[in-house]
Structure 1
Amino acid sequence: MKGQKGFVLLGKRPFFGLFQRIARWRALHEERQMLASLSDDALKDIGLNRGDVEQDRRLHFWQDPLQK
C-alpha cells in the first residue's frame, strides 16, 4: 500500500528537518567565527571589511541570509 509506506517513512524520521536546521545553524556559526578571526588584510583579499563581518556576526541564528 503506497500511501502507508510514505506515512511509515515519515514516522521513522520525525525530527529530520529539525536536525537539518541545527546542522545548518552550526555550520553558519562556525563560518561567522572563522571570518571574525581573520585579519583585516585577509578580509580585504576576499572582498570584505571588518564592518561587514561584525554586521553578519550580529545576526540571530534564525536570520539566515540565504533563507534556506
Structure 2
Amino acid sequence: MSQTHALISADLAFSDRQRPMPLLAALAVSVAVTSSKWARQSRTRGALKHLDPRLLRDIGLTPDAADIEANKRFWRS
C-alpha cells in the first residue's frame, strides 16, 4: 500500500468515529497527503523524460505533450 493510500485510510478510519479530528492532526494529515502527492508527481514526471517515443505512444502521449508534462513544477496538477 502506498504512503498516500495509507494516510488516507488512516484519516478515514479516524473520521469514522463520532468525535472530530483535532485541528493539528488534520493539518498534519493534509500536509502528509499533499507532500506524498507532490513526490509522486515529481517521480512520474521525471520518468517521462526517459521514455522513448514508442513507449510514449503506448501510453497515448506525443513527445511534445510528454515534454510539457515533464517540465511542469511538482506542485502543478
Same fold by TM (over 0.5)? Answer: yes
User: Pairwise mapping of residues 16-27 of structure 1 onto structure 2 (< 5 A)?
Assistant: 16-27=29-40
2:18 equivalent to 1:10: no
Which residue of the other structure, out of 60, 63, 67, is the alignment partner of 2:76? 63
2:49 equivalent to 1:36: yes
TM (normalized to structure 2)? 0.63
Aligned residues: 58
Structure 1 stretches of at least 4 aligned residues deviating more than 4 Å after TM superposition? none
Which is bigger in relative contact order (C-alpha 8 A, separation at least 6)?
Answer: 2
The one-letter code of the counterpart of 2:30 is G
Structure 1 residue 49 displacement after superposition: 1.6
CA distance in 1 between partners of 2:48 and 2:72 (Å): 14
Please report the RMSD computed on the Cα atoms of aligned residues, expressed in angstroms.
1.6
In our comparison, the structure showing a higher alpha carbon Rg is 1
TM (normalized to structure 1)? 0.69
* Sequence identity percentage: 19
Stretches of structure 1 lacking an aligned partner (at least 5 in a row): none
Stretches of structure 2 lacking an aligned partner (at least 5 in a row): 1-18
